[in-house]
Chain A
Amino acid sequence: MKKLIVKSILYVFLILIVLEGLVRVFHLGKDTPTRFLDEYKVEKWKPNQNGFSVTGNRRQNFSEYHINTTGYNSYREFTPTKDKIEVALVGDSFIEGFHQNYYNSIGKKIENVIPEIEVYEYGYAGYDFADQLHLVHSYASQFDLIDHVILGIKFSNDLTRAEYQVVNSRLALESPINKMLKKSKLIVYCKSIGILDPPQELMYRLINIFKPKKKTVAIDEAETLRIKKENEEKYLANFKSLVSKYGYDKKRFTLLLDSRITSPLFLSYLEKNGFNYIDFSASFETSDRSTTLIYDRHWNNHGRDIIAKNITQYLRDINFIKN
Chain B
Amino acid sequence: MLFNSLDFFIFLPVVFVLYWFIFYKKIQVQNLFILIASYIFYGLWDWRFLFLILASTVVDFFIGQTIYTNDSTSKRKAWLWVSVIFNIGLLGFFKYYNFFIGSWVDFLSVFGYELKSTWTLQIILPVGISFYTFQTMSYSLDIYYKRLTPTKNFIAFATFVSFFPQLVAGPIERASNLLSQITAKRFFNYVQCTEGLKLILWGLFKKVVIADSIAPIVDDIFLNYNDYSASTLILGVSLFSFQVYGDFSGYSDIAIGTAKLFGIELMSNFKFPTFSRNVAEYWQRWHVSLSTWFRHYVYIPLGGSRVSKLKSVRNIIIIFLVSGFWHGANWTFIVWGAIHAALYIPVFLMGRNRIYMNTVVAENRWFPSLTEISQILLTFILVTFSRVFFRSESITDAFGFLEQIYANFSYETYQHPLGYRMIDYFILLGLFVLYEFRIRRDERAPFKFKSKIVRFVAYTLVILGMLLFFDDNIDRSFIYFQF
Most buried by B among A190, A193, A199, A202: A193
**Which residues from A are CB-within-8-Å of B21?**
1
**Which residues from B are CB-within-8-Å of A22?**
460, 464
**Which residues from B are CB-within-8-Å of A199?**
6
**Which residues from A are CB-within-8-Å of B418?**
294
Residue in chain A with minimal CB distance to B191? A4
**Which residues from A are CB-within-8-Å of B460?**
15, 18-19, 22
The contact of A60 among B5, B421, B456, B463, by CB within 8 Å, is: B421
Query: B197 on the interface (CB 8 Å rule)?
Result: yes
Measured CA separation A169–B241 after assembly (Å): 48
Q: In angstroms, how far is the closest chain B Cβ from the Cβ of A205?
A: 11
Q: In angstroms, how far is the closest chain B Cβ from the Cβ of A61?
A: 11
Residue in chain B with minimal CB distance to A197? B472
Query: B193 on the interface (CB 8 Å rule)?
Result: yes
The reply to whether B188 and A15 contact each other, CB–CB distance below 8 Å, is no
Query: B115 on the interface (CB 8 Å rule)?
Result: no
Known contacts A57-B468, A57-B470; decide if A15 and B419 are in contact (CB<8 Å): no
The reply to whether A4 and B470 contact each other, CB–CB distance below 8 Å, is no
Q: Count of chain A residues with Cβ under 8 Å from any Cβ of B? A: 27
Known contacts A57-B467, A294-B419; decide if A15 and B459 are in contact (CB<8 Å): yes
Measured CA separation A294–B420 after assembly (Å): 7
Measured CA separation A208–B236 after assembly (Å): 44
**Which residues from B are CB-within-8-Å of A294?**
418-420
The reply to whether A198 and B6 contact each other, CB–CB distance below 8 Å, is yes
**Which residues from B are CB-within-8-Å of A56?**
420
User: Which chain A residues (54-73) contact chain B, with CB distance < 8 Å?
Assistant: 56-58, 60
Measured CA separation A189–B470 after assembly (Å): 12
The reply to whether A195 and B188 contact each other, CB–CB distance below 8 Å, is no
**Which residues from B are CB-within-8-Å of A60?**
420-421
Query: A11 on the interface (CB 8 Å rule)?
Result: yes
Q: In angstroms, how far is the closest chain A Cβ from the Cβ of B13?
A: 10
Known contacts A11-B459, A15-B460, A60-B420; decide if A4 and B194 are in contact (CB<8 Å): yes
**Which residues from B are CB-within-8-Å of A1?**
20-21, 188, 190
Q: In angstroms, how far is the closest chain B Cβ from the Cβ of A57?
A: 5
**Which residues from B are CB-within-8-Å of A198?**
5-6
The reply to whether B456 and A195 contact each other, CB–CB distance below 8 Å, is no
Known contacts A15-B459, A60-B421; decide if A193 and B470 are in contact (CB<8 Å): yes
The reply to whether B469 and A57 contact each other, CB–CB distance below 8 Å, is yes
Q: In angstroms, how far is the closest chain A Cβ from the Cβ of B475?
A: 15
Chain A 34-62, CB-CB to B under 8 Å as 1, else 0, gives 00000000000000000000001110100
The contact of A189 among B5, B459, B467, by CB within 8 Å, is: B467
Q: Count of chain B residues with Cβ under 8 Å from any Cβ of A? A: 27
Query: B412 on the interface (CB 8 Å rule)?
Result: no
User: Which chain A residues (163-198) contact chain B, with CB distance < 8 Å?
Assistant: 189-190, 193-195, 197-198
Query: A14 on the interface (CB 8 Å rule)?
Result: yes
**Which residues from B are CB-within-8-Å of A19?**
460, 463-464, 467
Residue in chain A with minimal CB distance to B473? A194
Measured CA separation A80–B152 after assembly (Å): 91
**Which residues from A are CB-within-8-Å of B363?**
none
The contact of A195 among B424, B464, B472, B473, by CB within 8 Å, is: B472
Which DSSP category, helix, strand, loop or mixed, fits chain B's interface? Answer: helix
Measured CA separation A215–B419 after assembly (Å): 39
Measured CA separation A14–B453 after assembly (Å): 12
Query: A142 on the interface (CB 8 Å rule)?
Result: no
Most buried by B among A28, A57, A199, A294: A57
Measured CA separation A65–B21 after assembly (Å): 53
Q: In angstroms, how far is the closest chain B Cβ from the Cβ of A252?
A: 39
The reply to whether A3 and B470 contact each other, CB–CB distance below 8 Å, is no
Measured CA separation A18–B469 after assembly (Å): 18
**Which residues from A are CB-within-8-Å of B10?**
202
Query: A281 on the interface (CB 8 Å rule)?
Result: no
**Which residues from A are CB-within-8-Å of B473?**
194
Chain B 1-42, CB-CB to A under 8 Å as 1, else 0, gives 000011000100000000011000000000000000000000
Measured CA separation A14–B469 after assembly (Å): 21
Most buried by A among B193, B424, B459, B467: B467
Most buried by B among A1, A14, A28: A1
User: Which chain B residues (443-483) contact chain A, with CB distance < 8 Å?
Assistant: 456, 459-460, 463-464, 467-473
The reply to whether A195 and B467 contact each other, CB–CB distance below 8 Å, is yes
Measured CA separation A18–B190 after assembly (Å): 25
The reply to whether A193 and B467 contact each other, CB–CB distance below 8 Å, is yes
Q: In angstroms, how far is the closest chain B Cβ from the Cβ of A270?
A: 35
Residue in chain A with minimal CB distance to B21? A1
Q: In angstroms, how far is the closest chain B Cβ from the Cβ of A21?
A: 10
The reply to whether B467 and A14 contact each other, CB–CB distance below 8 Å, is no
**Which residues from A are CB-within-8-Å of B472?**
193-195, 197
Query: A8 on the interface (CB 8 Å rule)?
Result: yes
Query: A287 on the interface (CB 8 Å rule)?
Result: no
Measured CA separation A4–B21 after assembly (Å): 13
Residue in chain A with minimal CB distance to B10? A202
23 CB contacts below 8 A, A to B, read A1-B20, A1-B190, A3-B190, A8-B197, A11-B456, A15-B459, A15-B463, A19-B463, A19-B464, A19-B467, A22-B460, A28-B468, A56-B420, A57-B471, A58-B421, A58-B469, A60-B420, A193-B467, A194-B473, A195-B472, A199-B6, A290-B419, A294-B419
List 3 tightest A-B contacts by C-beta distance, closest first.
A194-B472, A294-B419, A198-B6
- In addition to A4-B194, A56-B420, 11 A-B residue pairs with Cβ atoms within 8 Å of each other are A1-B20, A8-B197, A15-B463, A28-B467, A28-B468, A57-B467, A57-B471, A58-B468, A195-B467, A197-B472, A202-B10
Instruction: List the interface of chain B (C-beta within 8 A of A).
Output: 5-6, 10, 20-21, 188, 190, 193-194, 197, 418-421, 424, 456, 459-460, 463-464, 467-473
